[in-house]
Homo-oligomer: A and B are copies of this chain.
């Protein structure tokens, strides 16, 4: 009759299932991103299905680059009675903009680095592109 009761697990098991360090889970609890779970008689944290879901969400959002603060408000929005996905989408869109800017910046880096490296002849040449590049100052203000 217990084909699918809610799983109970310790912090280690939760950590394994979410690929999240134990310390990080406790840290999330401390900052309010995760709720205080019930405890065993000996004081160990006991987690259930809901915790697993919530932490999975948090980890997914974090690897997508959302800040903890952002995630906190996303969770709050999604927990409102009627899921107001409009507001969630708005936040996600803002974040997407930010991600795109970061890609741009990194691609600029990549260009500069790879071009500079291409011009470097590994010490055989007295005037080396890398050293030169770094040594010049861009003085325009």
Contact = CB atoms under 8 A, between A and B. Distances in A.
Nearest to A105: B63
Contacts of A102: 106
Question: Looking at chain A, what size class is its interface with the partner chain?
Answer: 35 or more
Nearest to A137: B56
B17 A61 contact: no
B95 A113 contact: yes
Interface string A42-55: 00000000001100
Given A85-B122, A110-B99, A117 B134 contact: no
Contacts of A31: none
Given A137-B52, A137-B53, A131 B65 contact: no
Interface of A: 16-17, 19, 52-53, 56-57, 60-61, 63-65, 74, 78, 83-86, 88-89, 92-93, 95-96, 99-100, 102-103, 106-107, 109-110, 112-114, 116-117, 120, 122-123, 128, 130-131, 134-139, 141
22 contacts: A16-B141, A53-B135, A53-B137, A56-B136, A57-B134, A60-B134, A64-B112, A64-B113, A65-B106, A65-B109, A78-B131, A78-B134, A84-B123, A85-B122, A86-B123, A95-B113, A96-B113, A99-B109, A100-B110, A103-B103, A103-B106, A103-B107
